[in-house]
Amino acid sequence: MPERILVADDNEALSQLLELILVEHGYEVTLANDGSDLLAKAQLHIPDLMIVDILMPRIDGYEAIRQLRNDTRLAHIPIIVLTARTAIEDVVTGFELGADDYIVKPFQMPELLARVRAQLLRATRRPVLNPLTGLPGNILIEEEVNHRLRQGQAFALLYLDLDNFKAYNDSYGFARGDLVIKLLATILSEIKAEHNDEGLFIGHIGGDDFAIITLADQVNALCEDVIRRFDQRILTLYDPSNSNKPVPIQTLSVGVVLHRGDVPQSYHDLSRIAAEMKRVAKQQTGSVYVVDRRSNAQSIEQDQDRRKRGPTIGLLAQDASLVDMLSDLLQQQSLFVVTAESEFMPDAIVLGYRDRLPKVPKHWQGLPQISLKIEQSHDEQRFAQLQIQTNLKPTIPIHEYLSLALHLVRLEAR
């Protein structure tokens, strides 16, 4: 579709000459004979560029530019001022009102055409890198997907989204929220650098949404790696002692769509399915990735039962009341709780006690152990102090942050 140029000049002969030359160079041209006509036609059919004379009847060019810049639908359209005025104050006034370029009559047509091309090119150069993370933005993500579609390549599109990000932003402020986004961008950049794979593409859609393009057989390992690193490092951005109430720990939801090279699909088809899979992932607890199997020509193994219920936790407590309390808390977090008599081997052990640690049975020794010391405070409200006896962290005081403790339980169980 040709780019549309709106020319406003009360000199009919000059307007028709401009129209003839611009049409010959492939542009679509609309003429306006004064400032009022310019405003009406610009609002009716939004142009890609406007050439505006300053000296016009009814509404002059200066006032027309001012009104155009106050219209949110037209404020971004480039404007080239065309005038016989050469005084420096006239030039300054035009730029201050919002003109993008200035040509003095009489002019050479090649110069005008060059300035038209330059302004149209500048207008189409929307930001291609996200300013916060420096990763490729929406334009490059779409171009990368379309390139692979044109090449007939088989690939996977991953749509990553943070859970509980708004709650974190509301509690810690948007500056700390930006640190979370940068953390995920850093993790993705590290993985790309370590893989040294030109076929692995990472992009930042915007906000807390990211995209990855990779081969289908790399989906499992890649998703597990991203989730593991994020779950470990997100904890460093929380400060339990400086908050009045618990803030849900952020997790990662990933929707995955697989494109077969021999199946016709568009960028919009793939992004829609990836978003659908991401919504399914967000309905589950913890960091989860969900693969759309409807477009999958290969077998991608995934432990759906474990993904749905979370890790299996072996519970040992000092007495029956602690067993009941901790079991309820853990199960509320979609964790599968078993006792020492169970035939299931847990992923990690939670030890609940008041004054002495329960004894770990022989067949559970060597598993990650997390100790929860339950005490009674002076106001008779229970609180938990967490000590992780693994190589993740030596001691982490939690106090009322049982939600953080349970997140660490899930983390240790991976």
User: Among 254, 283, 308, where does a domain finish?
Assistant: 308
Residue 289 pLDDT > 70: yes
Strands 4-8 and 28-32: parallel
Domains in the chain: how many in total?
3
How many C-beta neighbours within 10 Å does residue 3 have? 17
Highest mean pLDDT among 75-89, 129-143, 232-246: 129-143
How many C-beta neighbours within 10 Å does residue 118 have? 14
Instruction: Compute the distance between CA of residue 118 and CA of residue 189 in angstroms, rounded to an integer.
Output: 34
Position 290, amino acid: V
Residue 408 pLDDT > 80: no
Beta bridge partners of 288: 253
Cβ partners under 8 Å of residue 272, min gap 6: none
Instruction: Compute the distance between CA of residue 135 and CA of residue 7 in angstroms, rounded to an integer.
Output: 39
Highest mean pLDDT among 10-14, 281-285, 317-321: 10-14
Q: Given this model, what pLDDT does residue 344 score?
A: 63
pLDDT in tens, 24-55: 999 999 999 999 999 999 988 889 999 999 88
Instruction: Compute the distance between CA of residue 11 and CA of residue 379 in angstroms, rounded to an integer.
Output: 86
For 132, which DSSP code? T
Do 70 and 159 reside in the same domain of the chain? no
**pLDDT grade for 244, boundaries at 50, 70 and 90:** low
Position 413, amino acid: A
Helix axes 402-412, 219-233, angle to 10 degrees: 140
Do 153 and 194 reside in the same domain of the chain? yes
Strands 209-214 and 155-163: antiparallel
Instruction: Compute the distance between CA of residue 397 and CA of residue 270 in angstroms, rounded to an integer.
Output: 44
Do 106 and 237 reside in the same domain of the chain? no
pLDDT in tens, 356-381: 888 899 888 877 778 877 765 433 33
Instruction: Compute the distance between CA of residue 232 and CA of residue 189 in angstroms, rounded to an integer.
Output: 16
Domain of 372, in residue numbers = 310-412
Q: Given this model, what pLDDT does residue 126 score?
A: 56
Do 288 and 334 reside in the same domain of the chain? no
User: Could you give phi then psi for residue 160, rounded to 5 degrees?
Assistant: -105, 140
How many C-beta neighbours within 10 Å does residue 175 have? 8
Greater confidence (219 vs 353) lies with 219
Of 43, 33, 114, 34, which Cα lies nearest the Cα of 80?
A: 114
Q: Which two tokens stand for residue 197?
A: 């794979």
Do 318 and 175 reside in the same domain of the chain? no
Do 256 and 363 reside in the same domain of the chain? no
**pLDDT grade for 161, boundaries at 50, 70 and 90:** very high
Greater confidence (327 vs 205) lies with 205
Instruction: Compute the distance between CA of residue 307 and CA of residue 294 in angstroms, rounded to an integer.
Output: 19
User: Is there a contact between 312 and 340 (Cβ–Cβ < 8 Å)?
Assistant: no
Do 79 and 151 reside in the same domain of the chain? no
**Arithmetic mean of pLDDT, 309-317:** 73
Which pTM was predicted?
Answer: 0.49
Instruction: Compute the distance between CA of residue 11 and CA of residue 55 in angstroms, rounded to an integer.
Output: 10
Q: Given this model, what pLDDT does residue 229 score?
A: 94
User: Is there a contact between 142 and 270 (Cβ–Cβ < 8 Å)?
Assistant: no
Position 284, amino acid: Q
Do 189 and 329 reside in the same domain of the chain? no
Residue 277 pLDDT > 80: yes
Do 277 and 315 reside in the same domain of the chain? no
Of 3, 112, 111, which Cα lies nearest the Cα of 53?
A: 112
Do 233 and 217 reside in the same domain of the chain? yes
Residue 400 pLDDT > 70: no
Q: Given this model, what pLDDT does residue 394 score?
A: 35
pLDDT in tens, 109-126: 899 999 999 998 887 765
Report the percentage of the chain scoring pLDDT > 70: 79
Q: Compute the mean pLDDT over every residue in the chain, rounded to the nearest whole number.
A: 80
Residue 309 pLDDT > 50: no
User: How does 388-410 read in b/e, with b if 16+ C-beta sit within 10 Å?
Assistant: beeeeeeebebebbbbbbbbbbb
Residue 273 pLDDT > 60: yes
Report the percentage of the chain scoring pLDDT > 90: 29
Q: Given this model, what pLDDT does residue 127 score?
A: 60
Q: Given this model, what pLDDT does residue 406 score?
A: 59
Of 292, 358, 303, which Cα lies nearest the Cα of 326?
A: 358
Quick check: is 133 in a domain? no
Instruction: Compute the distance between CA of residue 168 and CA of residue 172 in angstroms, rounded to an integer.
Output: 6
Residue 265 pLDDT > 60: yes
Quick check: is 45 in a domain? yes
Greater confidence (395 vs 258) lies with 258
**Helix/strand/coil for 47:** coil
**pLDDT grade for 209, boundaries at 50, 70 and 90:** very high
Quick check: is 223 in a domain? yes
**Helix/strand/coil for 53:** strand
DSSP letters of 192-229? HHHHT-TT-EEEEEETTEEEEEE-GGGHHHHHHHHHHH
Quick check: is 131 in a domain? no
Q: Given this model, what pLDDT does residue 357 score?
A: 86
